[in-house]
Structures are given as structure tokens and as C-alpha cells.
Amino acid sequence: MTDKIKQINELCKFEWQLTVNGHRSLNTGIYEYNYPHFEEDTGMIEPQMIKEILNRENCVSICLYPRNCTGFYWVYHYDLESALDATLKILQDEPI
């Protein structure tokens, strides 16, 4: 996992943030904490992924700005390793 984090640091030219279960620090539920992103009609996260995150009560979110300070991506998953893999894929596919 450390190698993946190092690789993300190398590929991401600007900021990236990793949050695991950020809702816990606010003493709220996962859905309430991520409400804007969990609205299924926005298409930001697949409905099945939202269901898995809620069922497992585990939310990993990564926000990354790969090439500049305005273009960004969100990655959501219930599994840290899978979230890191998805982030690396975005960075590897992102045009330079």
C-alpha cells in the first residue's frame, strides 16, 4: 500500500486528500456526511457503490487535483486498497 501512495504522490502534480470514515469525527452517519455526493441522481457515484459503503459503514474518499488547481476528481469506495487503485488509474489515464 505504501508503494501506491508513493506513486500517487509522484503522479499527482497538485494536492490530493485521503479521508477514511471522516463522518466519525463529526459524530454523524456516513450518508449525512457525504450527502451531496451520495445523491444517486447526480451520477457521481454508482448506486451499488453507495449501497456497499452504507452497508459496510466504511467510506474511503480521495479528492485529487492531478494537473492543476481547478480540475479535480473524487474517488469513493468502501475498501482502501481499491480506492488507491482507482486513483492510480485516473492519474495514469490523465493526459499530461
Instruction: Return the domain boundaries, the chain.
Output: 2-93
Cell of 9: 504522490
Q: Write down the pTM of the prediction.
A: 0.87
> First-to-last CA distance in the chain?
25
Residue with the three cell numbers 482507482: 86
Are the CB atoms for 24 and 71 separated by under 8 Å?
Answer: no
Per-residue confidence (pLDDT) for residue 32, from 0 to 100: 85
pLDDT band of residue 70 (cuts 50, 70, 90) is: confident
Per-residue confidence (pLDDT) for residue 96, from 0 to 100: 61
Phi first, then psi, for residue 7 (nearest 5°) are -65, -40
